[in-house]
Structure 1
Amino acid sequence: MMNSSLIQLNDLPTEIVLIILKYLSNVDVLYSLMGVNKRFNKIVHNHTFTDHLDLFRIVPKHLIEMISTSKYCILPLLDPILGRFCSEILPEIHDKIKFLNLESFSMERVLLATTYPDLFGLGLYGIEGETAIDLFSDPNLFTYSLKNQVSSLVIDMNINTNETLADDIYALLLTRIFTTFRNLRLLAVNPSPVSYLYLSINNFPSTFNSSTLVELYVGLSSFNDCLLILDGRFNQLSIFHVKIETIRCSSLLINNKEKLPNLKSFALYTVYCTNSYNELIVPLLHRMTNLERLDLSFVGYATKSFIDGNNLKQNIIYHMALLKKLTFNIRSFWFDSPMNIPSNEDIQQAFKDFKDMHIISCVDYFQKRKYSQCLVYSYPYKLQHYHEITNQFPGGLFTYVREVIYDEYPFEHEFFLRIARSFPLVEKLTLINKKKKKLIGEFKIKNKI
């Protein structure tokens, strides 16, 4: 009687089976159920499980010995699994696959296993720079059809801390990408927010260009590299998301005045503090006359006042008549007497015209170093770090943040409790403080610090 009451997967309605299987990876679904019976064969042929395949394993790097800036390591599928995919599964569903994510060791084996008539997207992960060049140099790896089909390419290179590739290696790789895929519309180079790859394209050859590229996601060494990207070599570019290591004025004369009418979405993230907001960033944004979406994340030195709502309106918003969505995370520093510093209420008042936006602000004065800072951001906070947090921290939930730095102010027990509540996934907490705390209490963070 007990055995007759057990319900197996095959006994469930198809709608319920589909709901359950969506919690598994497509690779697990195909490997486990293809060939079991006719019903499961029909289910796993559903586009939900065949459109997009990630043919690799993601392993936390602390489980294996590897020096890498990435938190996770990309490894090939186990050989029996990969073997069955190449000999049975991929040939069976080859005409249904739209996007393949691969890693370098099995990439050639997968691409040569069958034809992919509807494939438009390719992702290469955990790949070394010189290995990538070899792959794109192989005349047999990409068929004539694939060279014309692939319109989206994501390449995530493994940047080891003891590896430094010359700029000419990256130049060769990227130019080879554009000569290989003739109809490329989207290119993302190390799109991860923790990527440490910054390209310097100043000496890239003239063949580094494309008349088809519409979306570009890339990290660059300097602001000049950003201007070079926008100098006309990608004249159809509509979406440009860039992470720039340093923004500072240069002796090189590069056009920063010609309008960019095709650009509809722009995201700028800077790594180091800049003192060239007015000289470089603002003039660049003024070129984007038809921009509809803008995301700004940077740290900058203020000259006459903090970068607040009034500043954003006068320097940016009033120059973008088509702007539909603005998000930002801006921290500005100001070296002036604390008597001249606007209050947090003043900063909030400056954002009164920002309708349908939740704007958070926080103003602090660091007496020891004699400067003030103002952090303004559109909620939710999307950066993976929160630096120079103080007791003025307004609270909230920060699910993206992994690193918190606390500086100068005497810390209190209640403040630590707020950190524990606000940063549930924090992995690194740094305290730079020589002052005695006011209250003593027990504090515990469950995550590893």
Structure 2
Amino acid sequence: MKTLNSKNINILDLPDEILLIIFHKLHMIEMFYSLVNVNQRFDRLVLDPFCIHHLDLTIEPFLNDNSPANNAIFNRIRREILPRINHKVNKLTIESLSMACILDTIDFTALTSLRLDNFQSEILFQHLTGDTILFRLLTNQITQIQVNTVDNIREISEGNELNILSLILSIGKYLTDVTFTHWWHNQGITFSFFNVTSTTCVSSSLTKLIILVQTFDDCLYLLDGRLKYLSILIIS
């Protein structure tokens, strides 16, 4: 059995299994930026379909501003890495700061699950109402979506959160599983379906919904027939 001299040990001497454990301690953005194109072995491990089928490209906590250095990191990932793996990604997690750089420039042909984290309602509403990749994904292929919106009360128009949920359900022809949460910053208030018409938030494909609401009456609104095939409702 070959033994390693501790004075001369090199990371390349480690077996693939140990390297993967080390790599998975990194944020995915760090892993892409630091390890891809270093050598063929690292590329094989980092870009393996098992590792990248769920692509987490949220900026926090790794990147937290729009500095030129951070933009350079994302530009490299967008230009050099994503075109090599976009057809292997089944689930994508992004937030508003990475939306324009990632989702609006790359087609993910195998994507069926999408998580949108920490979006302001106004920004997400714009992405849902334009000719965007997000709109096309929801129309043509997404079956599962998780949306987390956070707003300051003074900065949003009343009812935007319901407009977003209604838009997602109407656009998402193949949606079967939706998680939708909305918070007002530092207050934790959810929204209500009070006075919402029966033609709002309608879906003929949805079977599972996880949502935050204010009152028990809101649950009754969701069960009034507007979600025809809903079989699982979780109030979180």
TM-score over 0.5 for the pair: yes
Equivalent residue, structure 1, for 2:114: 122
1:184 is the counterpart of 2:200: no
After superposition, the C-alpha distances for 1:317-356 in whole angstroms (9 at most, x for unaligned) are: xxxxxxxxxxxxxxxxxxxxxxxxxxxxxxxxxxxxxxxx
Q: How does 1:101-112 map to 2 (within 5 A)?
A: 101-112=93-104
Residue identity opposite 1:241 in structure 2: I
The 1:135–1:54 alpha-carbon spacing in structure 2 relative to 1, beyond 3 Å, is same
CA RMSD of superposed structures (Å): 2.8
Counterparts of 2:97 and 2:35 in 1: how far apart (Å)?
26
TM-score, reference length from structure 2:
0.84
The 1:165–1:218 alpha-carbon spacing in structure 2 relative to 1, beyond 3 Å, is farther
The Cα of 1:26 is off from its aligned counterpart by 2.4
Counterparts of 1:14 and 1:213 in 2: how far apart (Å)?
41
Counterparts of 1:107 and 1:44 in 2: how far apart (Å)?
22
- The answer as to whether partners of 1:91 and 1:113 remain within 8 angstroms in 2 is no
Question: Which of 48, 51, 63 does residue 49 from structure 1 map onto?
Answer: 51
1:25 is the counterpart of 2:27: yes
Question: Which of 212, 216, 222 does residue 215 from structure 2 map onto?
Answer: 222
The Cα of 1:59 is off from its aligned counterpart by 4.5
After superposition, the C-alpha distances for 1:262-305 in whole angstroms (9 at most, x for unaligned) are: xxxxxxxxxxxxxxxxxxxxxxxxxxxxxxxxxxxxxxxxxxxx
Say which SS state the counterpart of residue 198 (structure 1) adopts.
coil
The 1:96–1:172 alpha-carbon spacing in structure 2 relative to 1, beyond 3 Å, is same
Say which SS state the counterpart of residue 190 (structure 1) adopts.
strand
The Cα of 1:191 is off from its aligned counterpart by 7.8
Task: Considering fraction of residues, name the structure with more helix.
Answer: 2
The Cα of 1:179 is off from its aligned counterpart by 2.1
Residue identity opposite 2:162 in structure 1: A
Q: Which runs of 5+ in 2 are unaligned?
A: none
Q: How does 1:10-21 map to 2 (within 5 A)?
A: 10-21=12-23
Q: Which runs of 5+ in 1 are unaligned?
A: 61-72, 244-449
- The answer as to whether partners of 1:55 and 1:76 remain within 8 angstroms in 2 is no
Counterparts of 2:147 and 2:169 in 1: how far apart (Å)?
13
TM-score, reference length from structure 1:
0.46
The Cα of 1:125 is off from its aligned counterpart by 1.7
Counterparts of 1:191 and 1:22 in 2: how far apart (Å)?
30
- The answer as to whether partners of 1:59 and 1:74 remain within 8 angstroms in 2 is yes
The 1:99–1:37 alpha-carbon spacing in structure 2 relative to 1, beyond 3 Å, is same
Equivalent residue, structure 2, for 1:96: 88
Identity percentage of aligned residues: 30
Residue identity opposite 2:32 in structure 1: L
The Cα of 1:109 is off from its aligned counterpart by 2.6
Question: Which of 182, 188, 193 does residue 201 from structure 1 map onto?
Answer: 193
- The answer as to whether partners of 1:151 and 1:184 remain within 8 angstroms in 2 is yes
